[in-house]
A and B are shown apart, each in its own frame.
Chain A
Amino acid sequence: MSEPLAVLRGTLDVLVLKALTWGPMHGFEITAWIEARAGGNLDIVDSALYQSLYRLEARRAITADWGVTENNRRARYYHITSVGRAELRNETARWNRYAETVTGILNTPQQA
């Protein structure tokens, strides 16, 4: 297995939003969800996730409130808002275009 990739700044926001489309989650659930999808390919420092969450909350892409986990622990649950959904849509489209373009360029057969 190759080295895990450092996550680009801003990309984490989109990943968090994507995670929350599956329903309200607390911070660790979000991390776990992303890690499961990444299959060990992404190296996320946990605190960076919270930076991302607070950023998203400040621009009202998500909201948060305190709830209780199955183990009766107090946890802060995050919800995606309509603002967040719109952002996710735009960012996903942008990401795809960007990735396609870059991939296209990188994969062009080199001229001899």
Chain B
Amino acid sequence: MLPPRIRRALRLPFGRHRIETETDDEIRFHLAARADALVAAGLTRAEAEAEALRRFGALEEVRPQLLAAAKHREERLTMIERLDALHDDLRYTLRQLRRSPGFSVALALTFALGIGANATMFEILDRLLFRPPAFMPDADRVGRVYLRSPRPDGTERVDNNISYLRYAELRDHTRAFSQTAAVFQNDQVVLGLGDAAEAAAVGLVSASFWQMFDIRPVAGRFFTPEEDRPPRGAGVVVLGYGYWQSRFGGDRAVIGRQLRVEAKMYTIIGVAPKGFHGIWATTTAAYVPITVGAVEMLGNDRYYLEHNMSWLEMIARLRPGATADMANAELTRAYRQSRLDDAAAKPGSRPIAKQALALTRGELAPLPMDRGPKRSESAKVATWLAGVSAIVLLIACANVANLLIARGIRRRREIAVRVALGVGRGRLVAQLLTESVTVAVLGGVVGLALAHWGGGAIRRVLLPDVDWSFVPVFDARVVLFTTAVVLFTGLLTGLAPAAHALRADVNASLKAGEREGGGTRSGLRSGLLVAQAALSVVLLVGAALFVRSLHNVSKVDLGWDPNRLLHVRVELRGTGTTEEQAQAIMQRALDRVRAMPGVSSASTLVSVPFWMTWSEDVFVPGMDSSERQRTYVMNPVGDDYFQTMGTRLLRGRPVGSSNPRDGPKVAVISEAMGKLLWKGKDPIGQCLRIGADTAPCREVVGIAENMKFGDLGDDESMQMYVPATQSRTAGAIIVRTPGDPRAIAEPLRREVQQLLPGLGYASVKPLTSVLDPVVRQWRLGATMFSIFGALALLLAAVGLYGVIAYDVAQRMREMGVRVALGAQAADIRRLVLWQGIRVAALGVTLGVIVAFVTVRYVEKLLFDTPAHDPLAFGAAVGTIFLVAVFASLIPARRATRVDPVVALRTE
């Protein structure tokens, strides 16, 4: 007897109609049979039929019930059959995979690389762009407020930092929000006393901040609106969970104790729950009311009366029913009113022009910075890299598909036999898809592991500010994403072999012998190879462009040497020292530092490139308005400043602490500044007024090399250096070391710390750390494009090798004939090599075209590198050809070793 599956397959198609007919037939048969039996027992035909109907039950009532039962039966059976088929397919697949473990591992690893790359990039992009802050309900209703206004030069200024007064006005004059909060995070706040003192991140937040989250304190309480009122909030602090654990060992008795925060003592009132990070990606050690932080930490006691400082950020939750458009309109109206009030309150200030006012707007943008109007360059690069990782996955898919097709060809006879035996094509496709999905699942598991452990390093490079320590091994969102990717790739990959198998001609395959199995080359397979090569070219071009950019960045002459420099900050706020005492302390610290072993030179300074800018207005006769609006960086420096920074003094003499306080006022300026202000005349000896046009004349005594100060592309930074002795700001110490600066960072800090009174605090930071974020986007692009490019290349090489080697194996007979007919080894080798090169050439052509079109989108992310850089394109193309030759070389060598006798005799 045929198994039920086959019998069912032979039946009419499954459908409502068939079930009805069959059931009716069955009922009819039953009634007839019963009537026959009753007639045989002696009833008349009419009586018998009536009795049969009676025994069956009221037909109009029973028939629908039976139909429903029959339908349910069919549905159940179909489902069971499908499960059975899947089970069979899985068993078959696993048997296939076990039979050739090397092949299976290659498939799974190929997938693992592709899926791992995508899981890694997803995790990163998710952090940057999508993941809502922990504990924040309905986070998509919460946004960050940005303010737009025109600059005098016509460009637009976009600001997420606003004054407290502005925050209060926007809060009070909008109705679209159910919650608003003012937040600010500073990661350099000194916490703790003496040995326990450390610089940590502290959040200055309004009391309303806590209401935006669905949290309860682990211990104690959060601060209340009463404790967060201008002019000065209460001196209370809520600890972050991590800081509470590391500094207080999770002791609940900390509530009520005192903690030094920056320059004052605060009462600990609560502990935030584990995993709570506010709206920041980094760990926050403590939270204080923003109204006390403004006074005590910012040192601004008129913060709630004037727009004298734009510092905090406003976040807001849309009221139910309110839309983002409503919020924007209200923010705009409130912001304009705030600006008008501000202008009206300042006597003598010019009214805001109508045009300018029309361009003044408020806006609620998504909470993640990188989805707002001020997204970082690194985020753009990361988004590109996500696209690139998708390309790597496509290449992996093409590779696996190709290998599966290759095996499919070998299995052609087997498949033909199955088709001949009546296995439906649908079932055959299901079988092939099961195979590719199974491999994808295996690859996905390995890929997830790769993403977690291997991706850790990448994550830290890409997003060093994010605290990754609390990331679970298998994050739910990442696993979900990976599952989707696995299913997608599995199905996508299975399509090609399935299409290939369906096209196969059963008759021809059954008749053909093994030796003819690979006789015909498949266009589909070559197409996949070409696509791989093309995609690899695109990635390699991207990699080359970023590597070039990074190289160009590293060659940039900064005008100072960031390597082996330490910046020593001394915090004396809250110690009650006067300016004179502070100056004296700094001088003593400088003397101590200079005397230390491992220090080649040291000086004081205030402005630090890429980190701290003190700008001042400058007045020179004949200045025009554009010159007046530039940023002039003021830097009071000590002796040896130029030598320590590695900045050359081009002409004249330096300034420093040797210039007496009451001596002649002098200054050194940067070359660009001299050119700009005195236009060809010699700046030395000229008079410069700093701060006001009534300020005393300062004589320019020297010209220093230009310094890249806030931007690597900045060729004209305006720098002015005045003697530290002639400034009232003590500043910080800069130290140059002959060796690794980190080695003496801690001894240096201790040495300086000893000189400081009470709450005084010293912190040391290598200057490369301020430069790192500046070059991050290129380092990121170069590293990741190179990694992904190398992956793509590896996959493409393996794919090419696999296909050519397979073809050669299939054509052994043909090679044997050729050798028998007198072909030389060189001819055979050329034949095989040519095959690889042809595929590569097609791929390269296609890839170069695609790359040529797409690179212009990344042009802005490059540094001093044209998007159509011939060197980058050349390198990519050369690499692909080289790889193609190497991938074909091994099979070519094998082909030359064919023994014609053996090859012709087989089969």
Contacts and interface: CB of A to CB of B under 8 A. Distances in A.
B31 to A, nearest CB: 8
B66 A54 contact: yes
Nearest to A57: B73
A54 B70 contact: yes
B66 A51 contact: yes
Given A27-B30, A28-B33, A54 B73 contact: yes
B30 A28 contact: yes
A59 B65 contact: no
A47 B77 CA distance: 21
Contact of B57 (A47, A74, A75, A76): A47
A74 B36 CA distance: 15
Interface in A20-62: 26-28, 31-32, 45-48, 50-51, 54-55, 57-60
A73 interface: yes
Contacts of B849: none
A47 B34 contact: no
B213 to A, nearest CB: 52
Contacts of B56: 45-47
Interface in B491-542: none
Interface string B57-79: 10000100110011011001100
Nearest to B67: A54
B32 interface: yes
B613 to A, nearest CB: 79
B849 to A, nearest CB: 59
Interface of B: 4, 7, 22, 25-27, 29-30, 32-34, 36-37, 55-57, 62, 65-66, 69-70, 72-73, 76-77, 80
Please give me the 9 A-B residue pairs with the lowest Cβ-Cβ distance, nearest first: A28-B33, A47-B62, A58-B73, A54-B69, A47-B57, A58-B76, A46-B56, A54-B73, A45-B57
Nearest to A59: B76
B69 A74 contact: no
A25 to B, nearest CB: 11
A63 interface: yes
Contacts of B65: 47, 51
A46 B22 contact: no
A75 to B, nearest CB: 5
A77 to B, nearest CB: 11
Contacts of A69: 33
A31 B56 CA distance: 11
B34 A54 contact: no
A65 interface: yes
A46 B55 contact: yes
Contacts of B34: 28, 31, 46
B62 A73 contact: no
16 contacts: A28-B33, A47-B56, A47-B65, A48-B57, A51-B65, A51-B69, A54-B69, A54-B72, A57-B73, A58-B73, A63-B4, A73-B29, A73-B33, A74-B29, A75-B33, A76-B29
A73 B32 contact: yes
A74 B73 contact: no
Contacts of A48: 57
Contacts of A63: 4
A60 B78 CA distance: 11
A60 B79 CA distance: 12
A57 B22 CA distance: 15
A74 B66 contact: no
Contact of B26 (A31, A50, A55, A59): A50
Nearest to B72: A58
A23 to B, nearest CB: 13
Interface of A: 26-28, 31-32, 45-48, 50-51, 54-55, 57-60, 63, 65-66, 69, 71, 73-76
Contacts of B76: 58-59
B66 A47 contact: yes
A27 B26 contact: yes
A58 B30 contact: no
Given A60-B80, A65-B7, A73-B29, A55 B57 contact: no
A32 B27 CA distance: 15
B32 A76 contact: no
Contacts of B73: 54-55, 57-58
A46 B72 CA distance: 20
A45 B26 contact: no
Nearest to A45: B57
Contacts of A55: 69, 73
B256 to A, nearest CB: 69
B508 to A, nearest CB: 36
A21 B70 CA distance: 23
Nearest to B52: A46
Which of B30, B56, B57, B77 has the largest count of A CB atoms less than 10 A from its CB?
A: B30
Nearest to B26: A76
Nearest to B62: A47
B57 A26 contact: no
A76 B66 contact: no
Contacts of B70: 54
A59 B65 CA distance: 18
A45 B66 CA distance: 13
Contacts of A26: 29, 33
Given A45-B55, A55-B69, 11 more contacts: A28-B37, A47-B57, A51-B65, A54-B72, A57-B73, A58-B77, A59-B76, A63-B4, A73-B29, A74-B25, A76-B25
A32 B26 CA distance: 16
A62 B375 CA distance: 66
Nearest to B32: A73
A26 B30 CA distance: 9
A76 B69 contact: no
A76 B36 CA distance: 17
Nearest to A26: B29
Contact of A28 (B25, B29, B57): B29
A26 B31 CA distance: 12
A26 B7 CA distance: 18
A59 B7 CA distance: 18
Nearest to A28: B33
B57 A46 contact: yes
Given A46-B57, A51-B65, A75 B29 contact: yes
B69 A50 contact: yes
A60 B77 CA distance: 8
A98 to B, nearest CB: 26
Contacts of A32: 37
A43 B743 CA distance: 99
A76 B28 CA distance: 11
A46 B30 CA distance: 9
Contacts of B72: 54, 58
A32 B7 CA distance: 28
A13 to B, nearest CB: 13
A30 to B, nearest CB: 10
A50 B29 contact: no
Give the interface centre of B33, B56, B62 by most chain A CB atoms within 10 Å: B33
A75 B27 CA distance: 10
Nearest to B58: A47
Nearest to B31: A46
Nearest to A65: B7
Nearest to B75: A58
Contacts of B7: 65
A5 B66 CA distance: 23
A66 B25 CA distance: 10
Contacts of A51: 65-66, 69
Contacts of A60: 77, 80
A75 B28 CA distance: 10
Contacts of A74: 25, 29
A74 B25 CA distance: 8
A91 B243 CA distance: 66
A78 to B, nearest CB: 11
B75 to A, nearest CB: 8
Contacts of B37: 28, 32
Contacts of A31: 30, 34
A51 to B, nearest CB: 5
Contacts of A45: 55-57
B619 to A, nearest CB: 95
